[in-house]
Amino acid sequence: MTRSAPLALLALVLAGAGCGGAGGGGEDDARRLTLYSGRSEELVGPLYDRFERATGIQVEARYGDSGELAATIGEEGTGSPAEAFFSQDAGALGAVAAGGRLEPLPPELLRRVDARFRDPEGRWMGVSGRARVVAYDTRKLRPAELPDTIFAFTDPRWRGRMGLAPTNASFQAFVSAMRLAVGDERTRAWLEGIARNRPVLLENNIQTLEAIARGEIEVGFVNHYYMYELRQERPDLPVDNHFTRPGDPGSLVNVSGIGLLEDSPEARRFAEFLLDVEGQRYFATDTDEYPLIPGVRPDEALRPLAEIQGPDVRLGQLGAKLPSTVELIREAGLTP
């Protein structure tokens, strides 16, 4: 009893839990899609519900951080249950693609979005656009006081007034884009200049906005739509978005994107849905992002995508730059 019982019990509990968990796998009538979602349930859960209603395909979504999910797909190897990966940013998709895990997307689907916003080899494509902005404290700064280029923030007058998230994927993508636009030396000088100004280092975009709202910093480098997200919780948020001039790396337009790990009809149907009018409208109205297909207009409060412009880079090039970009940010002293 003493020695064998614990092991027997352990085996029993594990077996029982196993049966319980695996029980759902038996029903084959319903069509299913196993989706790894780097975008949160709060933001895109209602969209998946609409997809289920429209197609009868049941979405089994695993939510998580895009980078973690990319690492998970890597560690799962070919045993991965994921059929599709909806990522918060292009970098994580690039990493999964580089591991040889993404199936090519149908050309007619790829053609729906501008070539800037997809993988040149057609393994992933953008779904919704987001612009980099300089968020600022409307209580302390007027728009006219803000520079029209991101390079001006190395000026000592910004010392101790800035915040950024150096480990955040969208900040890294922005630095990669800057390298492609103006070269490594200017980028390194910019990073070092920013580091000399002792910015407050935060974890992500939301934290950066909150730091502005509570008066800890006056400006922060973030994606444009987090402000709208926070306003739902706090309508009186004293933060607004400032765009740098067209062509400036400070207003890079990046995307969330989709890649397929299995070329199943369900997975393809899902990608099509995201890039159809209904899916694109959802991003325009519910998440305050930029739709990427022609004919669906962004929310009127947003600056039109054509006016933002950003640096002339293809997002498909950013993935390969990522490791050396992370190293560059570290060497500048912004990460340990």
CA distance 135 to 129: 17
Exposed e or buried b for every residue in 3-18, given b needs 16+ CB within 10 A?
Answer: eeeeeeeeeeeeeeee
Does position 211 interact with another protein (CB under 8 A)? The reply is yes
Select the residue interacting with another protein from 275, 322, 332, 334 (CB under 8 A): 322
In the shown chain, the binding pattern of residues 183 to 202 toward another protein, with x for contact by CB under 8 A and - for none, equals ------------------xx
State the sign of the Cα–Cα–Cα–Cα dihedral 323, 173, 48, 269: negative
CA distance 197 to 249: 19
**Going by DSSP bridges, is the β-strand pair 239-242/124-137 parallel, antiparallel, or unpaired?**
antiparallel
3-state secondary structure labels for all residues of 250-291: HHCEEEEEEEECCCCHHHHHHHHHHCCHHHHHHHHHCCCCEE
Minimum Å gap between C-beta 71 and another protein is 5
Ranges within 9-38 binding another protein (CB under 8 A):
9-10, 13-15, 17-18, 20-22, 24, 34
Does position 72 interact with another protein (CB under 8 A)? The reply is yes
Stretch that binds another protein, among 107-115, 127-135, 209-217, 265-273 (CB under 8 A): 209-217
Minimum Å gap between C-beta 106 and another protein is 26
Indicate the burial class of 91 (C-beta count within 10 angstroms; 0-12, 13-18, 19 or more).
Answer: buried
Does position 79 interact with another protein (CB under 8 A)? The reply is yes
CA distance 238 to 137: 6
Q: Between residues 64 and 147, which has the closer beta carbon with respect to another protein?
A: 64
Number of chain residues interacting with another protein (CB under 8 A): 65
Which residues, including other chains, have CB under 8 Å from residue 123's CB and lie 6 or more apart? Answer: 93, 97, 102, 103, 104, 105, 259
Torsion region of 100: left, alpha or beta (phi above 0 gives left; psi -120 to 50 gives alpha): left
Select the residue interacting with another protein from 56, 183, 215, 294 (CB under 8 A): 215
Does position 100 interact with another protein (CB under 8 A)? The reply is no
Minimum Å gap between C-beta 95 and another protein is 4
Would you say 73 and 36 are in contact if contact means Cβ atoms under 8 Å apart? yes
Select the residue interacting with another protein from 175, 227, 230, 328 (CB under 8 A): 230
Does position 323 interact with another protein (CB under 8 A)? The reply is yes
Looking at the DSSP assignment, which residues form a beta bridge with residue 158?
A: none
Does position 203 interact with another protein (CB under 8 A)? The reply is yes
Minimum Å gap between C-beta 112 and another protein is 27
Does position 7 interact with another protein (CB under 8 A)? The reply is yes
Q: Coil, strand or helix: which one is 163?
A: strand
CA distance 124 to 94: 8
Minimum Å gap between C-beta 155 and another protein is 23
Q: Which residues bind another protein (CB under 8 A)?
A: 1-7, 9-10, 13-15, 17-18, 20-22, 24, 34, 40-43, 60-65, 67-68, 70-72, 74-77, 79-81, 92, 95, 167, 169, 172, 201-203, 206, 210-211, 213-216, 229-230, 233, 322-323, 326, 330, 335-336
